[in-house]
Amino acid sequence: MVCAKPDTRQRLIDTAQELLWKKSYGSVSVDDICKAANVNKGSFYHFFPSKAELAIASMEMTYQETKTTYDQIFSASKQPITRFEDLADYICERQAEIARKYSQVCGCPASSLSCEMAGQEQGIREKYDEIIRRKESYYESALRDMAAEGLIPDGTDIKSVAHEISTFILGQLMLARIQNDIAALQRDLKPGLFRILGLKGGAPQK
Amino acid sequence: MVCAKPDTRQRLIDTAQELLWKKSYGSVSVDDICKAANVNKGSFYHFFPSKAELAIASMEMTYQETKTTYDQIFSASKQPITRFEDLADYICERQAEIARKYSQVCGCPASSLSCEMAGQEQGIREKYDEIIRRKESYYESALRDMAAEGLIPDGTDIKSVAHEISTFILGQLMLARIQNDIAALQRDLKPGLFRILGLKGGAPQK
DNA sequence: ACGCCTCTTTACTGATCGGTCAAGTAATTT
DNA sequence: AAATTACTTGACCGATCAGTAAAGAGGCGT
């Protein structure tokens, strides 16, 4: 079949990622995805056993894209504090870019999807846990480097702090999506992160 | 019609609240709600012009229930710090109670719903903004009392801190829902709140 | 040239979706 | 007692839902 229609599977994943990010699992149909990806329904079910499985595949792809960036941001050659600073900048820039592209602040696709499907699609929950565990391992490693440099107190519970960081970011992204506004994100993300790290923890000034 | 079927409207709201909390807007149909509330579809559309309007009504009712509790928790007769402490306890207890009742951690119904419908149902977004503004006004008032007692630095941006508090709580509740686990909530909510307030802001110890 | 395998195409299923409609019932107003 | 009002009832609408079936097209190893 040469390559008249290459990457059908990938086109489905890309399209699903975009539509699910903009809207929601419940309000995007398999037909919507097929139409937007220019794929027939039969082909869809050749590649994916169900709509939920495509959603899971799109979560994985989104993570893989993020991973590439995270490997840069959390490069061990950088100061650990700089890594978190760069993370905050990246998140803000990325959200701004997506908001421009899709005319809407979209937040974290995996979190929105998992929240919607909580208690309904076990597979989505499992994929989410996997992704958040992998992300937290970046934070943990940076935190350990901070501890080694004496930047955070000895005996700090690294895993617990890493988890607080991901929870904090989740909250910021969720609210940005709901309010369709990244102003609060841009204002609060970096200082909030720093306060969790125990650095210049003062409350915001007028 | 005497009262063979009283409170049809209220039964619809109560049922919608429960089903939307447990599942999601997209996976709960008008028929589901009608069946569970033992109401005919025609009656549904006598009281509500659309599914979305019922969802909005259920958001408002949930807030009204919360408001009663908030008025106790944020009683001006209490120490402001105690108010936040009681808030954290209340949230944990409430989530535990709901999780028991529905066999699932449910998080914040308004936030989950608003996240799902972001950019699709303007009315839901507006109701969410209204609710979060009202909640933040409780935090602001307590923060002002703290400032008056010199518990937080002069010149602190009260509104910004109040917003950080609600964002923080949102993140904790979202993750609790997604992971169907309130352990992290019980562990992190109070210390996180205190750190935002600038009190014993140390990182968690092992 | 053959069959095999991967993928595409199209038509189709039965269920369910949000929402409408018109007739009916019963208390209240006039 | 008639008209009005508030609500109920259940059938009904066309559209859409996730998923299936079956036939075919094209490349590939033999």
Tens place of pLDDT for every residue, chain A, 206 residues?
Answer: 333 456 999 999 999 999 999 999 999 999 999 999 999 999 999 999 999 999 999 999 999 999 999 999 999 999 999 999 999 999 999 999 999 999 999 999 999 999 999 999 999 999 999 999 999 999 999 999 999 999 999 889 999 999 999 999 999 999 999 999 999 999 999 999 999 998 764 555 55
Closest CA–CA distance from residue A6 to any residue of chain B (Å): 32
Closest CA to B182 of B115, B104, B85: B104
Binned at pLDDT 50, 70 and 90, residue B203 comes out as low
Name B181's Cβ contacts closer than 8 Å, sequence gap at least 6. B105
Q: Identify all chain A residues contacting B156, using CB atoms and an 8 Å cutoff.
A: 203-206
Q: Which of A114, A174, A197 to mutate to test the interface with B (most CBs of B within 10 A)?
A: A174
C-alpha distances (whole Å) from B69 to each of A40, A195, B62, B65 are 53, 30, 11, 7
Distance B47 CA to D3 C1' (A): 24
Q: How many residues does chain A have?
A: 206
Nucleic strand D near CB of residue A31 (< 7 Å): yes
Name B156's Cβ contacts closer than 8 Å, sequence gap at least 6. A203, A204, A205, A206, B143, B147
- Rounded to an integer, the average pLDDT of B147-153 is 93
Q: What is the pLDDT of residues A21-51, one digit of tens each?
A: 999 999 999 999 999 999 999 999 999 999 9
Closest CA–CA distance from residue A12 to any residue of chain B (Å): 21
How many beta carbons lie within 10 A of that of residue B153, not counting itself? Answer: 11
Rounded to an integer, what distance in angstroms lies between the CA atom of residue B113 and that of residue B128?
Answer: 9
State the pLDDT at residue B200: 61
Backbone CA torsion sign across B48, B53, B57, B62: positive
Binned at pLDDT 50, 70 and 90, residue B1 comes out as very low
Interface of A with B in 43-102 (CB under 8 A): none
Fold exhibited by the domain B52-196 = Tetracycline Repressor; domain 2 (1.10.357)
